[in-house]
Structure formats: structure tokens, C-alpha cells
Structure 1
Amino acid sequence: MPTLALPFPAIDPVLIQVGPLAIRWYALAYIAGLVIGWLLARRLVSRPALWGGTSPMTPQDLDDALFWATLGVILGGRLGYVLFYNPAFFAQNPADIFAVWKGGMSFHGGLAGTLLALALFARSRRIPVFSMLDVAAVVAPIGLFFGRLANFINGELWGRPADVPWAIVFPHGGPLPRHPSQLYEAGLEGIVLFLIMLLVVRSGELKRPGVAAGIFGMGYGVGRIIGEFFREPDVQLGYLAFGTTMGMWLSVPLVLAGLGLLLYALKRKPAP
């Protein structure tokens, strides 16, 4: 291990606190991801040429969809963490299931919750479900980017011990320098995936409902699996069979589902 390591930046996880009311960076990350994603989504649906001449939804539809997506992210993310990452603890302490301020959210659960919420919303408005999911897929990396930055600020979900020059000693990660895996994931799942989704939009693939959603599923799954090679697994789970992690296993079905959706969408003729 190196004799020197980068110091962990002393950033208070609480931005502002007034009495019992605390505004945390983590909450702001969720808000920023949702709001910026919503603004970009409105811009996408306001350009009919991207969809082949007629947009499948209106900006006003997205105003209402934001509420549904927020519920899906929060409820799905929390339920996914409870079921996938710490079911034994929450079985013994069911009241803590609702203590979201203590941390514990699963992206895969949040994704499932958001997919379900947006699919139900789209059906209620008679919007093509795949087109609604395509919009969400294009803007989702924005939320992922801010979320991983918040993980870093909180000093949580740190990486495995490392001897790279940029290794960091995290306050709650023991004395060993570790990979800043949160920043790796912010780059892969946020910046790189967002650029890929912009290329998908620019190439006119929104005219094929399901292409963007399929590419997002594959891209996130692959990026997450790569990130897991640098990330320390949750202490209550540890390493699974063959040195894998829970994050890897949850990402494999996402890659396969994304590939299946992409192949299905490519068989359909694009809108003129």
C-alpha cells in the first residue's frame, strides 16, 4: 500500500440545518437529478422532428409524470435495498424500513419502481409505453451522476483497498487507502452513459420506440458491473460466488433485458 494517499475532502453531508430540519447533499442530489432530467425531457418532447414528426406526449404530460417518477424512485429504491441488500435486518426491525433518512437505497429497485410508475402513467394517458421509457432513459444518467457524487460526499459505498496514487482514506472505511469508486461510477453511469444517450437521440433513434431504453439498460448494466470490480461490497453480504457481488448479479438481468428490448425495437420500422 502507498505511504501517501489523498485526504478525504471534509464536506459536511448536511448543507443547512435549522433546528431539527436538515437539508442534506444526498436529498439535493435526488432533487437536482429529477429537476434537470425533467427540464431536458420537456425539451425532447417539444421537438417533434426527433420523433418522426409528431411527439408522443406533451410537456404537460411530463409535468405530471415527474410526480410518478419521484414516487417510483423513492419507493422502489428503498424496497429494493430492503429486499436485496439487508432483508434479515429489516425482518427483525420492520420500523426501520421507513427510516429512509438513515440511508439505504438500491438503484435497481429504484429503476424497477420508476419503470412501473411510468408504464402505469403512460397507459393512463394513452402514451406509448416504450416512448415514455425512452425519454426516461435519456435523462436518467443525470440523476445517476448527482447520486454518485452524493455517495462520495457522504463517504459511503467506498471502493476496495488500492495502491493507486489517487486512493483515498475514507473516514468510515478503515485505515487503508481505497478506490474512490463513487467517482468511477459517476463517470461511467453518469457522464459516459449520458453521452451515449445523446448520440442515440442525435442519430434519430427516438423514432424507434424502445431503442433508447434498451441501450440504457445495457449501458448501465455493463457500467455497473465494471464499477463493482472497484467497489467494496456491502459488509452484510460480502462477496458472493466466484468473487462476484450483489450489484453484479442484479445488473446481468438488466443487460439481457436491455439487449432483448433493443433487438425487438430494431425490427420495427422507424417513424418517417
Structure 2
Amino acid sequence: MFPFIQITEGVLIPSYFLVISLVYVISSLWLFIRAPRYRIPQKMVLDVCLIIMISGFLGARFLHVFYEHPDYYLKVPSQIFKFWQGGFVFYGGLFLALVSSFIYLKKNNQNWRLWFELFAPVVVFGYIVGRFATFLSGSGYGHPTDLPWGIVYPPGPEAPSGVALHPTPIYSMIWNLIYLFFVLLRQKSPPKLFNFPGSFLLGYGVYHGIGRLFIEQFRNDFRGQTMLFLSVSSWISVLLIVICFFIFWREYKNIKN
């Protein structure tokens, strides 16, 4: 909708890059403030935030370049480095950020469950704002629709204009806002059932994967090669659901026993 935001006359900043930069700063500050509640050193939080920023950026960019549009970037390799113009895949960033963070936490003898509790609402918040950035940039759009909430995008570099489309980024925002409200409510007055360290973020992995699988069916932007009628993002969602549910159930049984 607004792929560029004018800062001053003649100075335009890509809205996606600006919003993602702001959400990183806000999320890091939020984590820094929450850390004492879980007896986690604030300096270590800053270290992890830096690791996530670098690895998440590289992973998200890598999957976009080498999976979604490899032919284009092979022809114009200089475009690979113009990251401020957008072009990131959430799951690529998530995977590399998780692996890098786990290596750091393991090396420093940290309990990953407490870190999952620390990160739970911040991860959901970051994803919601990230979907908003996607909406502003005009990417991640849906199929044409006759529904009253269909959105007609203005002429831009990505979404087709002149036809009402499913606002899939908004669908994602609403779906994740529900869970964010749930997490904040539960952490304030946690119930006895399924309440154990790490449960919020593990539960979000299952919840997010289910929502992503459903919303993917409405998306009309390029999804890369499909396998058995599903995009790679859909298959990663299935894998995320299975892994998070397995760990969730294992942790629950261990606590119960």
C-alpha cells in the first residue's frame, strides 16, 4: 500500500525495512525489561538479540534469494545486496535464528525453557508487526475476492492493482493477535493446566503453523515450487506443528510425572 515512506523531501525509505528495524529495537528493549523476571542476565539478552538480528536476517534473505527467485538473482546478482527493498522469508530467518541461539545458550549453560518463556509474547508481537510491514509494502497479497473486505492495492511493484484481493497479511495479523492476547493474559494469571516453562512459545509454534497452513491457501504471490500441492512454507508449517507438539507433549508429561 505504501512501499516507501517519505522522511524528508527527496528522501524515501522502504516501509518494510523501516518497520522491521523499529520492531527489532522495540522487541530488544521489551526483552531487556522482561529478563529480570526470569532471572536471565540482561547482558546475555542483548547478545542473543544481536545473534538473532544477524542470523535471522541472513536466513530470511537466503531462503528468498535461493528458493523464491533464484533465476532473477542469478541474472542480476547485485540485487541480492539491496535488502532494504524487501525480500525475506520468515521461516528462513526463524530456522537460522533458532539454531544460532540454541548454540549460544547451550555454550553458556542456559535453560532454553526459561528463554522460551521470555521470548513468547515478543516473538508473536514481532511477527504481527512484520505482517503489517508486508502489507505496507504490497507483498504477500491474496487471490481475487468478492468479499466486502477485499482490498484494492494501488499501482506498485508487487500486488496487482484494480482488483479486490484477499488481505492475507491482515488475516495473519488477526490470527496472531488472538494468541498474543492469550499469552499476555495467561502470563498474568497462569492456569494450572499445560502451564510449564516453554509452554507458551511451543504452543505458539503449533498455533502459528495451523494458521499459516490455512492462510497460505489464500495467497496469490509467488510461493516457489510446490510439492504435493503445497508450498515449501506450508510443508515447513507442518514440520513446525509436529516438532512443537512433540516437544510440548514431552515436556508436559515430564512435568506431570
If the length of structure 2 is used for normalisation, what is the TM-score? 0.84
**Matched residues in 1 for 2:181 and 2:85: separation?**
33
**Matched residues in 2 for 1:174 and 1:24: separation?**
19
**Alignment-derived partner of residue 143 in structure 2:** 160
**Matched residues in 2 for 1:130 and 1:89: separation?**
41
Q: 2:217 aligns with which of 226, 229, 238?
A: 229
Asked whether the 8 Å contact 2:171–2:215 carries over to 1, the reply is: yes
The Cα shift of 1:93 comes to 4.2
Give runs of aligned pairs for residues 24-35 of structure 1, distance below 5 A: 24-35=14-25
RMSD, aligned CA:
2.7
If the length of structure 1 is used for normalisation, what is the TM-score? 0.80
**Matched residues in 1 for 2:43 and 2:32: separation?**
8
Name which of structure 1's ranges 106-115 and 39-48 shifts more when overlaid on structure 2: 39-48
Q: Which runs of 5+ in 2 are unaligned?
A: none
| Residues 187 and 207 (structure 1), Cα distance of their counterparts in 2 relative to 1, 3 Å cut | closer
| Residues 63 and 95 (structure 1), Cα distance of their counterparts in 2 relative to 1, 3 Å cut | same
**Matched residues in 2 for 1:221 and 1:18: separation?**
42
**Alignment-derived partner of residue 51 in structure 1:** none
1:48-98 CA deviation, whole Å, 9 max, x = no partner? 5xxxxxx2x122321222211111221111112223322343345444332
1:9-57 CA deviation, whole Å, 9 max, x = no partner? 6x452232576x6433212321232233223323433225xxxxxx2x1
Asked whether the 8 Å contact 1:208–1:268 carries over to 2, the reply is: no
**Alignment-derived partner of residue 248 in structure 1:** 234
Asked whether the 8 Å contact 2:116–2:198 carries over to 1, the reply is: yes
**Alignment-derived partner of residue 113 in structure 1:** 96
**Residues 1:197 and 2:183 aligned together:** yes
Q: 2:205 aligns with which of 217, 225, 244?
A: 217
| Residues 188 and 60 (structure 1), Cα distance of their counterparts in 2 relative to 1, 3 Å cut | same
The Cα shift of 1:204 comes to 6.8
% identity of equivalent residues: 25
| Residues 265 and 201 (structure 1), Cα distance of their counterparts in 2 relative to 1, 3 Å cut | farther
**Matched residues in 2 for 1:61 and 1:207: separation?**
25
1:118-144 CA deviation, whole Å, 9 max, x = no partner? 212223432223332342233111111
| Residues 78 and 132 (structure 1), Cα distance of their counterparts in 2 relative to 1, 3 Å cut | same
| Residues 234 and 142 (structure 1), Cα distance of their counterparts in 2 relative to 1, 3 Å cut | same
Asked whether the 8 Å contact 2:4–2:137 carries over to 1, the reply is: yes
Q: 2:13 aligns with which of 17, 23, 26?
A: 23
